[in-house]
A = this chain, B = another copy of it.
C-alpha cells in the first residue's frame, strides 16, 4: 500500500472540476465529479432527523447502487427549505444529467453552507454548464476547493494497493471544519476507486471504514443536516472482481487508511483549531465502549479548552470518561500524554514538567488512556477549542 499525492481523480476514469458561480461571495463554490462509466456506489448519510434536501434526493438516487456523477455546492446548505428546496436539489441533478448525457438518477447532489435560504438556481444552472465543460483528470484540487466553507485548506488523499497483481487506486476529498461530530456532521467526503466490486460489498467496506474514521472525529459536538460520505467504484483497474476474503481484506485495509487520512484532516483544520488531538483508548470491555470513551474525551469542552491553553489537565479527561456512563473503574485508569505518564490508577503521577511543557506545545498531541478492564480499543481525533472558533461561529451570518 502506497500513498500518492493526488485526490479524487487519482483512480482511473474519474474527472472533476471546481468553478465559481457566485453562490459564495468569493472563491470556488461548485464541484463536479464524473466517472467515464457507471460506478458501483455506496454512501452514509447524516443521522440528524432534520435532513437537507440534497440528502433526501441523494438517498433516493443511490438506491440501485449505481452512480456516475456527483454535483456539490458550498455556500448554501439547501436545508429547511421545504418543497422548493427539494425541487431545486432535484433540478441540480437534472441539469447535471443533461450536460453529461446520463440519467438524473445517476447523479448525487450535495450542499454545504448556511441553513434556511433557497439556492440561487439562476447561478447554479450556468455553473453546472461551466463545471461540466471543465471536467478533467487534473480537476481534483479545484473540486476539493469548491466544497470548502470555513475550511482553510482543501483535504485530499490517495493511495495505491495491489489486488490480483493489478494496481488499484483509491482517492478522495473531504470538507469539514465546523459542526463535526460522530455520526456525520457538516462534513462531506467523496471517495473514488477503480476497483471492481459489487455495490453490496462496497457498502460493507464503507460502513467499516466510516466507523473507524469519520465517525471518530469531532470538532464541536454538533451534528449537521447535510453530511454524507460517498464512494464510487468504477472497476476500470482490471477485470477481476473483489469477491474473496483475501482481496476484500486488502481493499478494506486500503479504504480504512484512506478514510482515516481524510478524516484526520478535518479536525486538524477545525474552526479555530491550533492543535490536532489523537485520543487512543485501550483496555475497554467492548469496542463500542472504547469508541464512546475516545469520542467523549475529544468532545469534552473543558478538555479542548485546556489543550488550547497548553494545560495538561488529565483530571478533565477523567471527568469526560465518567460522563459516558460506560463501565469504568476510576482507580484503574492510566493516562499518558505522548511518553509521559500523567495519571496512574486514576491519581496524579509524578510527570516531568519540562517534558510535558514541550509536549503541550506540539501541533499534534497523542493521548493514550488505558482503562485496564479488557482488550478493546479505539482511536478518536479532535482539536482544541480556541477563542477563534467562537469568533468564526458568531459571525457566520444568517
- Enumerate chain A interface residues (CB-CB to B < 8 A): 47-51, 77, 79-82, 114-117, 178-179, 220-225, 299-302, 305-306, 308-316, 318-328, 330-331, 343, 345-348, 385-398
Contacts and interface: CB of A to CB of B under 8 A. Distances in A.
25 contacts: A49-B321, A49-B330, A77-B315, A79-B318, A82-B346, A82-B347, A115-B315, A115-B316, A116-B315, A116-B343, A221-B221, A221-B299, A222-B301, A222-B323, A223-B323, A224-B319, A225-B322, A302-B393, A305-B393, A309-B394, A311-B396, A385-B390, A385-B393, A387-B387, A387-B390
A314 B115 CA distance: 8
Contacts of A319: 48, 50, 79, 115, 179, 222-225
- What are the 5 closest A-B residue pairs judged by CB atoms, nearest first? A309-B394, A115-B315, A50-B322, A387-B387, A305-B393
Given A49-B328, A320-B222, A323-B223, A116 B385 contact: no
Most buried by B among A311, A315, A325: A315
Nearest to A183: B323
A389 B81 CA distance: 33
A323 B79 CA distance: 14
Contact of A321 (B50, B51, B325): B50
Given A311-B396, A311-B398, A390-B389, A115 B318 contact: yes
B314 A116 contact: yes
A330 to B, nearest CB: 5
Nearest to A344: B82
A316 to B, nearest CB: 7
